[in-house]
Chain A
């Protein structure tokens, strides 16, 4: 997802009887559906896992601006340009809400950013794919934001208060993202034969990377089990992927586009589609840094951070100087 393969430091999920008194009280609060707030007692593992997860989620929002930002200056109409600009600005906001949620756990935003730039934290694999045509912007909104919504809606119920509140705010804004993407896809799919081909090509290239967003099957993963008992993960990766496919296939049919999977078939018995798994070796390569755009994305982030340093420092120096002048005048 926006946070993929987050580890928990757990080698197994412990039974409530094996926990210390504090830990048991903590787990019981979560089981009762209470929210954990930053100043409440929490196990070190919970705190660390959340920093990883929320940090990775925040990085994804920020890096995710790059593939779409690529098309702001080349949007086909002024209206499309204004819409895309607003969408990308929302993603910046999402990143900021999430960094702030992570900061309540005792890490600073600058630290997280530096960990990302040092390659010690990740962002979602999906943003390492290029946006080659305008139809890709449609596909990103429809599929990538669509997949993100699948994951973010249940996370509104997550146990950590600041994360949950950030998710509520984000979810309110996301549905515009998906709908503007689908709107682009409708225009393209019903346009000229060349535009229709572009829409199909975008779906072909983004289908499997979108399925990868949910991460490999984690039904046997200790980390997922631990995260689920802490309610910082609500559904398994397979559950969310299935939901995404079931929701998206009829939408592709509506567009008159073909999902690039010859094994895709409705399964009456399970009440969902059977579909092909993405190529997981490709996923792991992308995570390792070998996707088509990993280097370009990280370089762009580092450059923006370094080029902005004098502005950040200058504004801080100015604020300090004015504060000092004020104190002297008092």
Chain B
């Protein structure tokens, strides 16, 4: 078998002012073709105003086995949320 086109991850900005969001992946020989293909595959109904493509091989992901070490420490820090604090009604909106 010949060399397969590499895989690209596709990110789309849905509307002005929003972040690019991961929508899926596709195969393409190079970045330019990846953008063209992404336009056809992921934005046939005006789903976006901007496209990013990134070679899938370049993505570094967190290790699912590290989930607890990474994310668990945040769960007991409820004082990071505004609802932790009781502000008397007479103070007004805060």
Q: Which residues of A contact B (CB under 8 A)?
A: 37, 39-41, 86, 89-90, 93, 96-97, 100, 103, 108-110, 114, 165-166, 169, 173, 309, 312-313, 315-316, 318-319, 322-323
Contact = CB atoms under 8 A, between A and B. Distances in A.
A93 B26 CA distance: 10
Contacts of A96: 26, 41
B33 A110 contact: no
Interface size class of B (residues with CB under 8 A): 20 to 34
A309 B2 CA distance: 9
A106 to B, nearest CB: 12
11 contacts: A40-B64, A89-B44, A93-B40, A103-B7, A103-B25, A312-B2, A312-B29, A313-B3, A315-B29, A316-B29, A319-B30
Contacts of B40: 89, 93
B14 to A, nearest CB: 13
B2 A166 contact: no
Contact of B1 (A41, A110, A315, A323): A110
Contacts, number: 54
A103 to B, nearest CB: 7
B4 A109 contact: yes
Interface centre among A166, A169, A309 (most CB of B within 10 A): A169
B27 interface: yes
A301 to B, nearest CB: 17
B84 interface: no
B28 to A, nearest CB: 8
Given A110-B1, A318-B29, A97 B64 contact: no
Interface of B: 1-5, 7, 24-27, 29-30, 33, 40-41, 44-45, 61, 63-64
Given A39-B64, A109-B27, A166-B24, A312 B5 contact: yes
Nearest to A314: B29
Contacts of B26: 96, 100
Nearest to A322: B30
Contacts of B24: 97, 100, 165-166, 169
B25 A39 contact: no
Given A39-B61, A100-B25, A108 B4 contact: yes
A90 B29 contact: no
Contact of A316 (B5, B25, B45): B5
Nearest to A40: B64
A313 B27 contact: no
A162 to B, nearest CB: 8
A329 B61 CA distance: 31
B53 to A, nearest CB: 13
B1 A114 contact: yes
A137 B40 CA distance: 24
B36 to A, nearest CB: 11
A316 B28 CA distance: 8
Given A37-B64, A97-B24, A316 B44 contact: no
A169 B42 CA distance: 9
Contacts of B63: 39
Nearest to A309: B2
